[in-house]
Structure 1
Amino acid sequence: MATDNQLPVISTPPAAQVPAHLVESTQRYVESGLRGAANTVRAYAGDWKRFTAWCQLHQLESLPAPVEALIGFLTELADAGKKFATIERHAAAIAKAHELANVDSPTADKKIKVLLKGIAREKKMRQKQAPAFSLDSFKRTIKSIDVSIPAGLRNRALLLLGFTGAFRRSELEALNIEDLAFDDDGLVVTLQQSKTNQLGQAEEKAIFYSPDPALCPIRSLQAWLLVLGRMEGPVFVSLRKNNQVTTRRMTTKYTNLIVQQSLGNQYTAHSLRASFVTVSKLNGADDSKVMNQTKHKTSAMIRRYTRLDNVRQHNSAKELGL
């Protein structure tokens, strides 16, 4: 059974179906297959905790949960003004909890599907997307960073690498020095695992030199690595108040904070990735080139990531020949 801060423990396969000496290995493989990405697990655990607390308050069973409990919970989220994407994620977390416990989930009930469709229709809200910044404003931000202190060196390297590599915040958090391969042509970053690469297959990103040293992601990263003074371990770490470097891996939450402090509160760490796509498309890059860096699987995802809020951007009306 789950604790308040965890998803339910995965049910062990029945001994009658799996030989005794294989039960432990089978359990491990099933758990790895079901749980998914670490960030997803953390988000689902928080959602599950909220649902179990709601059920306790209303004296309802949470596992297995009756359909009526889920209807009430999702309705309360909707009435509280939660975004539809947030409500959907809560439903997915509850479904995952029931899957892990090997019991039927109320999310499969038709009434839940109708409820979610109705909530989506009433809200009529598109999921809020992280905005993209312009290249000029990004350059100004980078050049304004005080690189005479370790925090400035780290933040400059983080922003430049995050943007030019179209990294997810979770990928920046997990990045180790051993994943970096420098040569005369630039830098190749090997991702050991990512949101779309759960099986640990080889996945690489190429980073190139910039003619302007102040805007060069490779030189900036090398300057930060000199501060770290080691050959292995996390690339981006937290600092003490006196700018003393620690060995503690920097969290995705703090990465987001650095982006907002540097670029503005309207942006998030995901803006680095969205801006890479947008700037690349505005500069004429085709989808295959963009996908080679972002690791998106389809052009549809590239279109979703492209932020062209200004009607004058990327508009064929400029190319009519009049």
Structure 2
Amino acid sequence: MADQASSLNSLLASEERAQVDEFFFSRSGLASTTAETYSASWWDFLTWCKSHGHEAIPASPGAVAEYLEDRRHYSLSTIRNRLSAISFAHEHLELGDPTSEGRAAEVRKSITQEKREEEIRSPGEQLGNRPYPPSEIIRGGLPLLRDYLACLNEGSVGDPGEEGTARHERWWSWQGRHEQVRETWLDSFISEEKASAEAMTDGQCKLVPEPEFSLSVMRDRALLLLMAAAGASRPEIARIDLVDVVPDDDCLLIGMRRKNGMPDRTIRLSGSDSVELCPIRAMTAWIVGAGLVGGPLFRAFDAHSNMKSSRISLSSINLLVQNAAELAGFNLDEWTPSRLKRSPRE
């Protein structure tokens, strides 16, 4: 038995993906679909542990907690798969479950609660009793965004069927955090950079799709315009939350955070007379059209074009840029998120 446990331990700690697959597909007794999910989940945890100097098997609750914080942007279902794989591997070797103890259990509970609060309902439900016509959503810009955010602060945007107490609590949560974050991004110790569509090249402008009353198009327009105008990287774009978007005078402040969540800098985004290339109108259209009430700014979509509560992934941003370049008739090898970020002059 000791030899068998040692052999399984070696497979789970291996630097070869094929040996990890051998454990889950041949030694675990799991169904093939579950084995596939657990193998991918464990490999992600294993490689993360190796790169951060932690033991994966047996793992400590502290290491699991740190891993969860690093993967906090994942969807709740993906996080659950990761945790299930970690639990299964340890239980299979008759080791204690590091996901249900100490700080790991606390972080797990915190993330679960956060993700549930971010669950996205339909745009019509979220707009409540204040629907906006498509033309106003596309063209409204800052005045519309100010009105929409004011509705959030008043607690009048949300699920019409939500109980009064729950809505009141959500309002206090949103208002408190929004005011706190606004003060952060306006603080004199946070560096500020100016950005506008005027800095974009002809190629970058052609990459942006025409305005359309479609959630995916509105998201893509806002993301592409922000990335090109502000020179923002993919991780910076993915980390932005709705509360990091702050109207200020005739500009829109976008707070950029570091990987650990600490404020990095503020982008002061200026508008444009062109509806097609105005980053403020594009951001407003996405926020209001999607009925965002909190959580990540740029969301993922499922295979049926339904908006999810999880953040857009870096690979999805890659694909978004590649698809836009293909539709614009560009050479795909020459158009990447890095080039879009650099804002090269042509």
Query: What band does the TM-score fall into relative to the shorter chain?
Result: 0.3 to 0.5
- TM-score by length of structure 2 reads 0.41
